[in-house]
Structure 1
Amino acid sequence: MTKPYELVGLKEVEYKKILDVLGREPNELELNMYGVMWSEHCSYKHSRSLFKHFPTSNEKVLQGPGENAGIVDIGDNLAVAMKIESHNHPSAVEPYQGAATGVGGIIRDIFAMGARPVALLNSLRFGEIDEDQRVKQLFEGVVEGIAGYGNCMGIPTVGGEIHFNQSYQGNPLVNAMCVGIIEHDKIHRGTAKGLGNSIMYVGAATGRDGIGGASFASVELTEESEEKRSAVQVGDPFMEKLLLEACLELLETGCVVGIQDLGAAGLTSACCETATRGEGGMEIDVLKVPRREEGMIPVEVMISESQERMLLIVEKGREEEVNKIVKKWGLYSVIIGKVTNDNMLRVMEGDQVVGEMPAESLDSSGAPKYYKDYEVPAYYNEAKQFKSQDVQEPDNYQETLLEMLKAPNICSREWVYKQYDHMVRTNTVVKPGSDAAVLRVKGTQKGIALTTDCNSRLCYLDPREGSKIAVVEAARNLVCSGAKPLAITDGLNFGSPEKPDRFWQFRESVIGISEACRELDTPVISGNVSFYNETETKAIYPTPIIGMVGVLDDVEKACTSDFKDEGDVILLVGETKDELGGSEYLSRIHGLETGQVPFLNMALEKRLQKLVLETIEEGLVQSAHDLSEGGLAIALAESAISGNVGAKVSLETELRADIALYAESQSRFLITVKKENLTKIKEKISQSESPYTILGEVGGDTLEINVNGDKNTCLPIVEMEDAWRGAIQCIMA
């Protein structure tokens, strides 16, 4: 017989801890509140012990982890607030609403800090799209959900990434990122300060949607769990737009001393988190909470995850100011309780106490904390046995390049981002399709560059090195855009932490991210952990998404990846090595996902990033492109297609031609320069003691690649573009 605590996702040992805390049996409401707050989704009970590895501060960080979002200084009394979060399980069950409410939730995290959201990004993972109709339906629904919510909010979706792999079959990943701009002196936090101050509920009415969502996100996906559609929230972007404007106007008045989004676990999490950051206690009356459904009982009100709701801590005596402003925006605004200092979270139903527990015991600091056993999986050492010589060189390099350009992990994402309004608010300087998005910071000369990145195949083959590569690739994308990398927000998506091999993957990944961030001085200022991303048969590949922001002092110096003018000289900065392991070429052409991941030399990486950034800032670089999936051949093709101009390239190498063209060696940039600047560029590269190769020139209407004197490839731009731009459209049609 199933025990009551098991029904809310708790273990016996956790239930005994509740008995110790309360000194009695919890009632149904209290048990459910502990169930949602001690879920993996809310408490991070299997991951908190490893967070100590992350670097989380430097002179630029104004707010690190622990609040709704992280904040980093960009100068001139301005800062960027940013956060990424997952909505994986809801999107697997209801792709449109799962993705839409993921976007809505992350937007609220940003304006809860007092920042105005200026951009959205995403990172998506699906099964093999060309094999499964269900994957196409998930893909289509998720993209529509992201577009539907973001477009209605009037916030541009400016960047992201999408990967397809069999490991995500049945368990897609949907990570949404939001970025806002704020002045230093207008930062707000979710703190219930001031004894006797009013707790006010603002926004939409509460319904039964989303009940148990945090617990639902903290178990593996099974046929039984997928039936829990009540755990998927329903979003209303028009209501959220009103809420955003109302909250930003309220924060300007100075009457709000604390503000918190009602996200996972709803009122329960908002109340206990703000209480523990402030005076320690809170008392609320569930009868005063606006409801849109009849007959709701206290437990439903307290754990509902209905969208578009905020909790405000308002200075006593100024409640009417709040009511007046909120009423103007057509939203609910009611006093539901008060701040106390007795360290208790007390839930009333009128005059009756229906729940009472120490607020801190519900919060992550009071939740269980685990550090699980871990073991290296067998595949890890087996994969390292692969050698490039184990696969044959292609017979036809032209067909190989076209096949690579059509690969779902490489081809154009235009089918996706055409559904997103990426130009709304007219601040987008570099649109989707380049290495990173660039936005103008209104009223200044500054710009910010934004990206999300992760090669999950590399993270599977070597979680520590693959995670380092995710960080440095994100940084390279910003550098190619002319921005100095500042900080990251991470979305850590893994299988069950209770299985030793999965916990090993997670631990290695956290250490890898930490090492790379420390080297680049890009602290982790916010993030999210999503565990239990597995079906009854398999786990996803480890997928630590890196969202990164960088700053341009002069947005007019933003750089893009497309070839510009005939006669420009093409250079490869960095060095290609015999490293086919984990490459898209190995997967797409040879059907193998194995091998040693490329070696990352952090000293060289830092030198090259500094070099490329300085040359862009000095106006010496025409275009810059990071070499990642697909290697040199794909970087050349992408720059030629996006610039609508060809190139003639000659490469002398001791490597086999397919290795030279498709290896995914790290620390490489493809740049173009005007001939008159070539001498100066060569001098700067030599001064930095960095390897480089002059490949050829931009020009014509074909991409011609010669390797060791042989004309390896000669393809018209139009033919490459048809393959690259039409792949997803063809699959989805």
Structure 2
Amino acid sequence: MLDTVARAKGDPDREQPWSELGLKADEYERIREILGRRPTGAELAMYSVMWSEHCSYKSSKVHLKQFGELAQETPIGPMLAGIGENAGVIDIGQGYAVSFKVESHNHPSYVEPYQGAATGVGGIVRDIIAMGARPIAVMDPLRFGPLDADDTHRVLPGIVAGVGGYGNCLGLPNIGGEAVFDETYLGNPLVNALCVGVLRHEDLHLAKASGTGNRVILYGARTGGDGIGGVSVLASETFDADGPAKRPSVQVGDPFMEKLLIECTLELFAAGVVAGIQDLGGAGLSCATSELASAGDGGMRCELDRVPLRDSTLSPEEILMSESQERMMAVVEPADVAAFLAICAKWDVEAVDIGEVTDTGRLEITWHGETVVDVPPRTVAHDGPVYQRPFARPDWQDALQADGAERLARPATGDELRATLLQLVASPNLCDKSWITDQYDRYVRGNTVLAQPADSGMIRVDEETHLGVSVSTDCNGRFAKLDPYAGAQLALAEAYRNVATGGAVPLAVSDCLNFGSPEDPDVMWQFAEACRGLKDACAELGIPVTGGNVSLYNQTGETAILPTPVVAVLGVIDDVRRRTPSSFQAPGERVVLLGTTREELSGSEWAHVAHGHLGGLPPKVDLGAERSLARLLQDLVGVATSAHDLSDGGLAQALAEAAMVSGIGARVGLEGDPFVALYAESTARALVTVAAEDVDELRALCARHDVAMTELGTTGGDSLAVEGVFEVPLAELRDAWSATLPNALA
């Protein structure tokens, strides 16, 4: 009897469901050209998921390559692994390295909020494990529709519970993130997940299948029908007005199995029995087999019927497409197989030898003795279609930028400015996020140093030397809509600044680029400009993009989300005991503004909240000033008693947060127009406090770094007072700040 591949050669005209699997006509024809025949059903399944937008980056590759070029052109010492690996790895000194990455699980989280968000956390954690690192913390940049919208009430509680439930069960502290609300995210929430892991340099592992004759072992959870097609298909299509056009099964997570998988994998690494490793995420076995084979000696043979199943009725195509969670694939030398399996058995993790590495240059997969896949692995994993999507500056961009916030009515009296402060601190984007963050364990394992609501998350890496890392994720989608080039740079600048306020030195970037449909030239222009802006800013700041994720088709009907290039910055601090906190620490200290304030209110939180307005140009980007401020903040460790960045909501929000979190008030005086001083969102600024006797030292350091310094006033009391303008008791301020989410979501 002919096997499946032979039959495919014999009936070239058989109709196949390539369109239903998301392939275009020319993509299907290209697969036929590659193979010299029509694909088998199993091959068609593999190509369809691996050539999807989510897995192949076919619309974004031409723009992403500049990040790889940046890494080659810029001498960057600390990067040990970068773009193309499961996650970036950065040298942080003392023989330690840190792996970190941020990815998206947006569309699955709309379809099934809890499992979509939970498995997003699980997937990014496995990326970190695959590098040889122990996961130590997670973060969650989130975006939702309006807080009062019915669908926000449907998705937000489930997403938050999914992020918290999975991370808490793994024993990983959630040390930061964002929760942002805007009408463009209605029906298309963004769930981005970041994980940080730590490893010694010698423990670094890469995803490759080398060594002819080495065994291929699948271990972890059994493969089921959940997640067939999953994120690889769901994240590659626009939602229609009634919901997603395709609803493949969202993956179902088991954090307790993932915890076993973490400990088992780390022991396997320690035993030296792993020659190559790959997690199973998007595209499942299709991805793991093709990527391992193409990154190694070029060949692999697997027996698909040996894959442990939760559902015995699954077809070969379904097994290859399933994105069931908590699975890993390892390449193991024959002499180490017994030890490998013994360690898995110790952790009660099922492990099965399903194949071997070959030197044929082919990926061959059999099903009960029949060959169902025989392909060059690179054509599946790396040589998918590359689209030069047309893009052009939108016709409406000039009119949008011309409609600046200067035409908007402004508060002028003290009472109006006071009311504006209370309105802003209670707004969904600036209010207290404790309703969300209290559902996360931020301090499990005992190494969390800073967490929400601090400017950045900080975690101890070494308990003896107190070496640590700091991470922040940021993006203002309104700024990116006004100018996507500057918007991406502003996202980087804010994350860079947040890391620096705690005293850490920014080292590296990971990004999650969330945009609408790449088939819309307006959206592709936004994407291209954001990539160019991020690359240019990283080059100027001297920090690499180590990896990340692109999430396209984030739109409902014709409504695209705000362009949302989330940027994560990781920094290192030699001694976490000497970090600088974000809130006031004691009464009687001097309050000082660092940096220069300009009349920059377009795209601001004030324009958004008070007027529902979006137009004009975003704040000016000054990367030289950001670098100078960061170096000053690092030199201020031990001098400044607190440091808080200025961003959304301007000086008013920074003062309010520093006071409300600490319970210590302040009395400040302002120069010039108090409205501009309080609510402008100029960049490269920070609010610091110092003891009275240290003001001269602060002044000298500011002069050394060429950073403007303005003395504002003194901490103390139980109110926030702006002399000659208004005074607000902290209790009233806190009531407004803390009530918004509980009242809306109760």
1:31 to 44, 56, 59: 44
| 1:231 match: secondary structure | coil
Aligned twin of 2:4: none
Distance 2:530 2:480 in 1: 8
Equivalent residue in structure 1 for 2:488, among 467, 487, 490: 467
Q: 1:531 to 1:553 in 2, by over 3 A?
A: same
Correspondence for 1:397: 417
Whether 1:294 aligns to 2:315 is no
After superposition, the C-alpha distances for 1:370-428 in whole angstroms (9 at most, x for unaligned) are: 12111111332112223443111225111111010001100111111100011110001
The alignment status of 1:56 with 2:84, answered yes or no, reads no
Tell me if structure 2 keeps the 8 A contact 1:570–1:695: yes
Deviation for aligned residue 1:224: 7.1
Distance 1:249 1:407 in 2: 48
* Alpha-carbon distance between aligned partners in 1 of 2:372 and 2:145, rounded to the nearest angstrom: 46
Contact 2:405 2:615 (8 Å CA) reproduced: no
Letter in 2 for 1:26: P
Q: Is the 8 A contact 2:401 2:615 kept in 1?
A: yes
Alignment of structure 1 residues 202-221 onto 2, 5 Å: 202-213=219-230, 214-221=232-239
Query: In structure 2, what is the equivalent of residue 520 of structure 1?
Result: 541
Whether 1:336 and 2:328 are equivalent positions in the alignment is: no
- CA deviation after TM superposition for structure 1 residue 183, in Å: 0.2
Aligned residue number for residue 258 of structure 1? 276
The one-letter code of the counterpart of 1:623 is: S
The farther-off stretch of 257-266 and 48-57 is 48-57
1:56–1:65 CA contact under 8 A, matched in 2: no
Equivalent residue for 1:362, pick from 373, 380, 390: 380
Secondary structure of residue in 2 paired with 1:269? helix
- SS in structure 2 at match of 1:318: helix
Gap runs ≥5 in structure 1: none
Kept in 1, the 8 Å contact 2:238–2:244? The answer is no
CA distance in 1, matches of 2:222, 2:242: 29
Partner residue, 2:12: none
The alignment status of 1:346 with 2:364, answered yes or no, reads yes
1:208–1:230 CA contact under 8 A, matched in 2: no
3-state SS of the aligned residue for 2:19?
A: helix
For 2:406 and 2:225, locate their aligned partners in 1 and report how far apart those are by CA, in whole Å. 59
Contact map agreement 1:216 1:225 (CA 8 A) in 2: no
Taking a change above 3 Å as real, the CA distance of residues 276 and 225 of structure 1, as seen in their structure-2 partners, is farther
Trace 1:60-75 onto structure 2 (pairs within 5 A): 60-75=78-93
The answer to whether the aligner puts 1:548 opposite 2:548 as a matched pair is no
Partners of 1:351 and 1:689 lie apart in 2 by 72
| Structure 1 residues 576 and 374: CA distance shift in structure 2, 3 A | same
Aligned partner of 2:502 in structure 1 is 481
Question: Number of paired residues?
Answer: 722
Offset, 1:223: 5.9
1:522 CA displacement? 1.7
Q: d(CA) in 2 for partners of 1:312 and 1:440?
A: 30
> Using the alignment, how far apart are the partners of 1:342 and 1:387 within structure 2?
62
Q: Which amino acid aligns with 2:436?
A: V
Structure 2 CA distance for aligned equivalents of residues 580 and 270 of structure 1:
48
SS in 1 for 2:240: coil
SS at match of 1:339: strand
Q: Aligned residue for 1:598? A: 619
2-side partners of 1:340 and 1:389: how far apart?
67
1:375 maps to which residue? Answer: 392
Question: After superposition, what is the alpha-carbon deviation per residue over 1:173-196, rounded to whole angstroms, capped at 9, x for unaligned?
Answer: 000000000000010111101001
Q: Distance in 1 between matches of 2:405 and 2:480?
A: 19
Post-superposition CA distance 1:9-28 (Å, at most 9, x none): 11111111111100111121
Kept in 1, the 8 Å contact 2:448–2:458? The answer is yes
More deviation in 156-165 or 515-524?
Answer: 515-524
Contact 2:138 2:195 in 1 (8 A): yes
Whole-angstrom distance in 1 between the partners of 2:381 and 2:215: 21
Mapped contact 2:304–2:367 kept (Cα < 8 A) = yes
Q: State the shift of 1:614 in Å.
A: 1.0
Separation in 1 of the partners of 2:373 and 2:405?
Answer: 63
Q: Which secondary structure state, in structure 2, belongs to the residue aligned with residue 378 of structure 1?
A: coil
Distance between the aligned counterparts of 1:399 and 1:515, measured in 2? Answer: 40
- Shift in Å, 1:225: 6.3
Q: Which position in structure 2 is the counterpart of 1:641?
A: 660
Contact 2:457 2:470 in 1 (8 A): yes
Kindly report which structure 2 residues correspond to 1:270-309, keeping only aligned pairs within 5 A, or say none.
270-309=288-327
Q: 1:315-358, CA deviations, whole angstroms, 9 ceiling, x for partnerless residues? A: 11221111111111112111001101111111101221012111
Check conservation: 2:237, 2:245, Cα contact below 8 A: no
Which residue of 2 is the match for residue 620 of structure 1?
A: 639
2:5 match: none
Higher deviation after alignment, 76-85 or 215-224: 215-224
Q: Distance in 2 between matches of 1:239 and 1:723?
A: 42
Letter in 1 for 2:598: K
Distance 1:464 1:248 in 2: 41
Measured against aligned partners, the alpha-carbon deviations of 1:31-79 in whole angstroms (never above 9, x if no partner) come to 1111000001111011111122223361110001111110001001101
SS at match of 1:6: coil
CA contact under 8 A between 1:216 and 1:231: conserved in structure 2? no
Q: TM-score if structure 2 supplies the norm length? A: 0.95
Preserved CA contact (<8 Å) 1:343 1:360: no
Letter of the 2:512 counterpart: G
Is the partner of 1:485 in helix, strand or coil? Answer: strand
- CA contact under 8 A between 2:218 and 2:329: conserved in structure 1? yes
Question: 1:410: which partner in 2?
Answer: 430
Quote the offset at 1:610 in angstroms: 1.1
1:495 Cα offset (Å):
0.7
- Residue 721 of structure 2 is aligned to residue 700 of structure 1: no
- Offset at 1:496? 1.0
Q: Answer yes or no: is the 8 Å Cα contact 2:234–2:247 preserved in 1.
A: no
- Conserved in 2, the CA contact under 8 Å of 1:460 and 1:541? yes
In the alignment, does 2:671 pair up with 1:652? yes
Which stretch has the larger CA shift, 583-592 or 559-568?
559-568
Q: Aligned residue for 1:47?
A: 60
2:275 aligned counterpart, secondary structure: strand
- State the secondary structure of the residue aligned to 2:132: coil
Greater displacement, 563-572 / 91-100 = 563-572
Cα offset, 1:228, TM superposition: 4.6
By how many angstroms is 1:554 displaced?
1.3
One-letter amino acid of the counterpart of residue 412, structure 1: D
CA contact (8 A) 2:554 2:560 kept: yes
Q: Answer yes or no: is the 8 Å Cα contact 1:388–1:578 preserved in 2.
A: no
CA distance in 1, matches of 2:273, 2:128: 19
Q: Tell me, yes or no, if the aligned pair for 1:494 and 1:542 is still in contact at 8 Å.
A: yes
The correspondence for 1:502, drawn from 523, 526, 535, is 523
Secondary structure in 2 aligned to 1:163? strand
Q: CA deviation at 1:713?
A: 2.0
> How is 1:167-246 mapped onto 2 (pairs within 5 angstroms)?
167-213=184-230, 214-222=232-240, 226=244, 228-246=246-264
Shift of 1:134: 1.5
Superposition deviation, residue 3 in structure 1: 6.6
Q: Aligned partners of 1:44, 1:7: CA distance in 2, in Å?
A: 20
Please tell me the residue identity of whatever aligns with 1:309: R
1:535 to 556, 560, 573: 556
1:99-123 CA-to-partner distances (Å, cap 9, x unmatched) read 0000000000011111000000010
3-state secondary structure, aligned to 1:466: helix
The equivalent residue for 1:428 is 448
Partner residue, 1:161 = 178
* Aligned residue type for 1:10: L
**For residue 33 of structure 1, what is the amino acid of its counterpart?**
M
TM-score normalised by length of structure 1: 0.97
- The amino acid across from 1:580 in the alignment is L
Q: 2:599 aligns with which of 566, 578, 585?
A: 578
Distance in 2 separating the partners of 1:478 and 1:229: 39
Unaligned runs of 5+ in 2: 1-14
Query: How far apart, in 2, do the equivalents of 1:378 and 1:657 lie?
Result: 36
